[in-house]
Amino acid sequence: MSLLSSLADIDKSPKSVFVMHERSEKHFPFHTHLKGQLSYVEGGLAYLGVLDRTYVIPALHYFWVPPGVGHILKLGHSGTVLRSIFYYSTDDKKNEFYVHTGIYPVNDLLLQMIRYTAGWERHIPPADNRFGFLKAIKDILPSISEKVVPVVLPFTEDEEMTRIINYMGKNLHEQHTLHSIARQFNMSSRSLSRTFQRTVQMSFLQYLKAMRMAKAFELIVKDRMSLSEIAYAVGYNSLSAFSNTFHQYTDFRPSDFARRPV
């Protein structure tokens, strides 16, 4: 049974852990549940929409969504496997980690533990001998989830800003500046800067960098271009400049990311 058809079942047993592994390319509409969601994105790319923000989740990363937080989830690649574990919330107050949405790079320990649950489906009650293993996964999350991946694209319904963002996205290879974009839309640089802060609460440069990293993750996952080609496709004049920015976001180089087994 797919995650989409199982959404109504997740909260039926509040004290259990709900496990679901699915390979698909799907859009999960806005939904919420009373359990916290741990999901590992394997072999592809995913987008998580929470409130007015879209989080970009590359392969080899996992995310945590606290209980009661409504969200939209889109898997962007047919090879993506979404491995999800939904947890009871009775002990969430013991650590701040469980009340914040976050995206984190997976380490070998968590990766192997999540994969070990691949044959476990649906509800795992406390009386089940597998429950302790699942509880251990939840318990270690705060200590291994210190590096947050900040690839976040704020969402806006502002029509003018939407046109600007769409233009930037379609021409990401170009050397955009605040001045060049302002001139393209017959605005002053000061006015455009204020529009970014007002509508997406980010500066022009912050938003442009996030767009470039999101697109870079997508291109690396598709594995159809060299890293140099990807660097130029997302607006960098050199592979080293691209690599340095990528490292700031992920703590590893794009070459390491491309080689890591999934």
- In-domain check, residue 12: yes
DSSP letters for 114-127: HHHTTT--EEE-TT
Name 28's Cβ contacts closer than 8 Å, sequence gap at least 6. 3, 4, 7, 72, 73, 74
Evaluate whether 41 touches 50 at the Cβ level (below 8 Å): no
Residue with tokens 């889109």: 74
Residue predicted with more confidence, 251 or 136: 136
Average pLDDT score over residue span 35-39 = 96
Query: What's the CA gap between 98 and 130, in Å, rounded?
Result: 22
Confidence of residue 262 (pLDDT cuts 50, 70, 90): very low
| Calpha distance 118→240 (Å, rounded) | 38
Residues 216 and 119 in one domain: no
Q: Indicate which CATH number applies to the domain containing 176.
A: 1.10.10.60
- pTM for the full model? 0.73
Q: Are residues 237 and 116 in the same domain?
A: no
Which has the closest alpha carbon to 40: 98, 116, 135? 116
Q: Does residue 53 lie within any of the structural domains?
A: yes
pLDDT of residue 57: 81
Domain boundary among the residues 88, 116, 144 is at: 144
